[in-house]
A = this chain, B = another copy of it.
Amino acid sequence: MKRSGRRPGNQDTRSSILDSARRTFAEKGYDKASIRAIAAGAGVDPALVHHYFGTKEQLFLAAMNAPINPAEMIPRALAGPRDQAGIRLVRLVLSVWDSPAGAAALAMFRSALSNEWTARLLREFVITQILRRAVADLVLEPAEAPLRSTLVATQIAGLMVARYVLKLEPLAGADAEVLVAAIGPNVQRFLDDPMPEVFKAGS
Given contacts A32-B31, A166-B119, contact A177 B198 (CB under 8 A): yes
**Does B170 lie within 8 Å of A147, measured CB to CB?**
yes
Chain B proximity of A182: nearest CB distance (Å) = 6
**Does B181 lie within 8 Å of A151, measured CB to CB?**
no
**Does B189 lie within 8 Å of A185, measured CB to CB?**
yes
**Does B198 lie within 8 Å of A166, measured CB to CB?**
no
Residues in B with CB closer than 8 Å to A171 are 147, 150-151, 153-154
Residues of A within 8 A of B (CB-CB), count? 53
Given contacts A196-B182, A198-B177, contact A170 B146 (CB under 8 A): yes
CA–CA, A85 and B196, complex, Å: 18
* A128 touches B (CB below 8 Å): no
Residues in B with CB closer than 8 Å to A163 are 154
Residues in B with CB closer than 8 Å to A162 are 150, 153-154, 157
* A203 touches B (CB below 8 Å): yes
Residues in B with CB closer than 8 Å to A169 are 146, 150
Given contacts A168-B127, A196-B182, A201-B178, contact A113 B161 (CB under 8 A): yes
Q: Kindly identify which residue among B31, B185, B193 contacts A114, using a CB–CB cutoff of 8 Å.
A: B31
